[in-house]
Chain A
Amino acid sequence: MSRVWREYVRPLIGILVLLGLWELLPETGLVDRELMPPFSQVMGDLPKLLTSTGFGAAMLSTATTWWVGVVSALLIGAPLGMLMGRSELVFRALNRPIGLLYSIPKVGLVVPLVLIFGVGLLSVGGVVFLGCLIPIVTSAYQGSKMTAVEHLWAARSVGVPTWMTGVRVVLPSALPHLISGTRLAVAVGLLDVLGAQFVVRQSGVGAYLYDSFDVGQFVRVWSTATVVAVLGLIADLLYVRVSKRVFPWAI
């Protein structure tokens, strides 16, 4: 009984309290229910939301842009970060630009990107790509720096060519850091894609949110936000599960 309590019930207490507040505050009139519909009313809108074609198309657009951004950041950022960890020259060249990129509000870049590339995967996806790049490069860099030099010597001594040690030795060593960095990138990516699509208002859940907000359909705004919030959580949980399955030795 106490194990069930500790692992399943106790973590949920805080969330249940918050949900309770969500229900009670508008119901009792403490918060205007036009502005913050009670939890039950928002839940009631869910079936309509999930079956609407507009929302389905929006989800597809958001999901595609999100994952394209994350995967491209991984494909480019991970090797870059690992290279930075092993080569002083690459580190010196890239350290400052990446630091600069870090401080820039990435979604702000969507405006110039749209000016240059027009609305689409290059601009909106580009924002996601840039946002995900930082955590991935940073974690790849830190992970590759932790590579035990003895492992590298061992690999070289059995005849592994230098360029291959990157894949066979550095990558597995960097994997634990890289996995947690990518986890952050997944969350940041979702945040960025929603923000960018909200600003650009062409397609995706961000645009859907804006449209509902614009015409005053506040219940729809709340229900969409809830669905997306839960989506982010599920994505994170799934990510942890899958990475534990695929790389059990790295976690």
Chain B
Amino acid sequence: MGGVVALGRKWRSIVAFVAPLASLVCVWEILAREVVANPFKMPEPLEVLHGADELWASGVFSPAILVTVERIGIAYGASLIIGWGVGTALGSIPSVAAVLRPIVSFFFTMPKTAIYPSLVIILGLGSSSKIVFGVMLAVFPIILGTATAVSTIDQKLIWSARSLGVSRARTFIGVVIPAMLPGAVAAARVGLVSAVVGVFLGEMMVGADGLGQLMMRMSTALDSAATYACLVTACVIAVAMDGVVLAIGRRLTWWSEG
């Protein structure tokens, strides 16, 4: 124990990151070997790694991953632009809020999964239906989170700037945007998970390519190791992207404690 404490901060954060993953893999190994004891139902972690290796060698893995990551990227980017834009307008302009807020709340509580088949009917089996679905899932939490962040800015900050003669535009850039950044970044993180879920779920449900579709195909082909490998890869992608967003967010809001 003393040895761990003696490690530098950097090492401790690495350990803090690796330890839960390691324990997860251990729990998985124990469950697979002792509790379930059926390699078809729940392959051990090493078998899944082997399955991933085979998938990679067969050449279907990397195109699927690329397609999925690309879709997530586009969906998330679009959600951020729309979400931050609409959210800011919603939080700062009362007339916009009066008209848009009912629509946003209306669509927020709607189970968009039910609408996905209709999306595929219109947009086809390709990327666009998955991207739009991802945007539909991600954009609403971003809008609501950003709107809250903007509307709860301390008015005194804005008054101070304006009273010193700062123009409206400059106030917006110099005061409003930094003040709302912590909330907007938090909303962006929630949106990321939804974008990943949207694209992956869309591919699982109806699709011709992508990681979700690959997982379904492997499941039908009764290749459990490959099936689990696809799922684990999707999780890794989600966690990795979340880490990136978190890091960028911390950079942007280094001055705040939130």
Contacts and interface: CB of A to CB of B under 8 A. Distances in A.
A and B together in one complex: yes
B235 A228 contact: no
B114 A112 contact: no
Interface in B46-98: 98
Given A100-B24, A105-B200, A199-B204, A112 B42 contact: yes
A89 interface: no
Interface string B218-238: 010000100110010011001
Interface stretch (A73-81, A149-157, A202-210): A202-210
Interface residues of B, number: 49
Contacts of B120: 213
A115 B200 contact: no
Nearest to B21: A100
Contacts of A36: 118, 121-122
Given A105-B197, A111-B219, A213 B102 contact: no
Q: Give the interface centre of B197, B206, B219 by most chain A CB atoms within 10 Å.
A: B197
Contact of A10 (B99, B108, B112, B227): B99
B41 interface: yes
22 contacts: A10-B98, A14-B99, A14-B100, A97-B20, A100-B24, A100-B239, A102-B193, A105-B200, A108-B215, A108-B234, A111-B215, A111-B219, A112-B42, A112-B228, A115-B227, A206-B113, A213-B120, A218-B121, A225-B118, A229-B115, A232-B109, A232-B114
B235 to A, nearest CB: 5
Contacts of B101: 11
Q: Give the interface centre of B99, B201, B239 by most chain A CB atoms within 10 Å.
A: B201
B238 A103 contact: yes
Closest 10 CB pairs of A and B: A11-B102, A96-B20, A228-B114, A14-B103, A103-B238, A236-B109, A194-B113, A225-B114, A232-B111, A190-B111
Nearest to B205: A198
A12 B116 CA distance: 24
A191 interface: yes
B143 to A, nearest CB: 14
Q: Give the interface centre of A192, A198, A210, A224 by most chain B CB atoms within 10 Å.
A: A198
A228 B238 contact: no
Interface in A170-213: 187, 190-192, 194-195, 198-199, 205-206, 209-210, 212-213
Interface of A: 10-15, 18, 31, 35-36, 96-97, 100, 102-109, 111-112, 115-116, 187, 190-192, 194-195, 198-199, 205-206, 209-210, 212-213, 218, 221-222, 224-225, 228-229, 231-233, 235-236
Nearest to B101: A11
Contacts of A104: 234-235, 238
B121 A205 contact: no
Contacts, number: 139
A198 B205 CA distance: 7
Contact of B110 (A192, A212, A229): A229
Nearest to B198: A105
Contact of B201 (A10, A195, A232): A195
A35 B118 CA distance: 8
Contacts of B112: 191
Contacts of A192: 113
B76 to A, nearest CB: 13
A111 B102 contact: no
Nearest to A12: B102
Interface in B236-253: 238-239, 242
Given A96-B20, A100-B239, A108-B200, A232 B219 contact: no
B42 A103 contact: no
